[in-house]
Amino acid sequence: MIGSSEGISDLLFAVGRPPLVEEHGVLEEFPVETATGVLDSTQIEQIANHLMGGDERLKNEFTTYGSCDCSYALARLARFRVNIFKQNGQQAIVMRKLQTDIPTLEQLGLPAVFREMIKEKNGIIFVTGATGSGKTTTLAAMLNELNMTQKIHILTLEDPIEFLHPHKQALFNQRQLGKDFPDFATGLRAALRQAPKVILVGEIRDRATMEIAMTASETGHIVFTTMHTINAGQTINRVLGMFGKDEEQQLRQRLADTVRYVVSQRLVTKVGGGRMLVQEIMGSSLRTRETLLYGEGENRTFQEIIEAGDTQGWHTFDQSLLKAYKADLITDETALIFCAHKNKMRRDIDMVKKLRNRTFEEPSGLRMDVETDAKAWAAA
């Protein structure tokens, strides 16, 4: 299944269907030699038991919660992040293929502001987005850059370990949930006694983990972490929602003091096939900290703050989508599907089209394509 295409990202197994492979975001059936041509519940259960490898913790977790996460490796071929879950009383499996080569900032085409992010010495950097949007890959590139350039201790808490980082300039220790620590809050609490300068928390899932992450960021650590949120505003609201209303003001003060960057990302369909990364980036400024402290209001929204921060390398999803459309990397339909403000995006796309098609009739009778106007407008 893995060898069937270069673009395979996931393997899926469900009762009543052949195995499925996801290629550039699209599911395709993979023929299987069974009597019916599809998988039955016994076959799925056998695959699941093989993937769990007799681990009693995983079996108990699956029985108690209806799902479990683990990792799986095919020697010299691929590593996977695996989720085994119940659906309609039967088992199903999703296997996410993990990259074996650790990416660099240049290979991912990440903007220059990421080099500023990795200079931070304390605080929290959130990388957010839906499952499969490349959060772990982005973080791996950032940690790889630190590993190559700084003589520091980097500690990661992951579920499961995805990229295996070698020791380079940095000392790199990676711990896996279930194998090396019981839960993120416990692992993070222990990390404070393990003398790291950089801590990666695979995901903030609850109040206890968020509380300790803020404490770590306040005591001289830089914390990288992920959340399943789609933009900066939703990320802050998710954190606030983990705590009681009576704690909100104190929490807002702590967030204003500790949040360094919020990077949100999505993968969108690219012209010619495949997908491309689109990001929203918000950093810390006087206006950002004020909004974190007092909340969004009239003339004080994260969207407006990010739009005004383009000189610092910040940009909204809509700005990123429009830039990709101008470069003919995505279609106008894709830009409209993924944008936050559809009416404004329609106006911007119409303006781009007009500038592309517009011509002047010169007195001499010569016609001239006004490409320079379009470039000047794009720069503005």
Q: Is the pLDDT of residue 372 over 80?
A: no
Mean per-residue pLDDT over the chain, rounded:
91
pLDDT at 3: 87
Q: Is the pLDDT of residue 363 over 80?
A: no
CA distance 289 to 143: 26
pLDDT digits (tens, 9 = 90+) for 21-55: 999 888 999 998 888 999 999 999 999 999 999 88
CA distance 319 to 315: 6
Side by side, the strands of the sheet bearing 198-201 are: 171-176, 153-158, 198-201, 222-227, 123-128, 259-269, 275-283
pLDDT at 7: 83
Query: Which residues face 8 on adjacent strands?
Result: 23
Residue keyed to tokens 């695979």: 202
pLDDT digits (tens, 9 = 90+) for 300-316: 899 999 999 999 999 99
pLDDT digits (tens, 9 = 90+) for 118-166: 999 999 999 999 988 999 999 999 999 999 999 999 999 998 888 999 9
Using an 8 Å Cβ cutoff, are 162 and 98 in contact?
Answer: yes
pLDDT digits (tens, 9 = 90+) for 242-255: 999 999 999 999 99
Strands 222-227 and 171-176: unpaired
Question: What topology does CATH give the domain 2-98?
Answer: Beta-Lactamase (3.30.450)
pLDDT digits (tens, 9 = 90+) for 261-299: 999 999 999 999 888 999 999 999 999 999 999 999 888
pLDDT digits (tens, 9 = 90+) for 206-218: 999 999 999 999 9
Q: pLDDT grade, residue 368 (50/70/90)?
A: very low
Q: Is the pLDDT of residue 373 over 70?
A: no
Q: pLDDT grade, residue 16 (50/70/90)?
A: very high
81, 100, 132 from 29: Cα distances, Å: 20, 25, 20
pLDDT digits (tens, 9 = 90+) for 153-166: 999 999 888 899 99
Identical fold, 2-98 and 105-326: no
pLDDT digits (tens, 9 = 90+) for 188-239: 999 999 999 999 999 999 999 999 999 999 999 999 999 999 999 999 999 9
Q: Is the pLDDT of residue 374 over 80?
A: no
Q: pLDDT grade, residue 362 (50/70/90)?
A: very low
pLDDT at 360: 44
Question: What topology does CATH give the domain 105-326?
Answer: Rossmann fold (3.40.50)
Domain ranges of the chain: 2-98, 105-326, 341-379
Residue 227 identity: M
CA distance 126 to 229: 10
Nearest to 277 by CA among 290, 286, 262, 267: 267
In a 13 Å sphere around the CA of 125, the CA atoms on its Cβ side amount to 25
Q: Is the pLDDT of residue 371 over 70?
A: no
* Mean pLDDT across 84-104: 93
Q: Is the pLDDT of residue 109 over 50?
A: yes
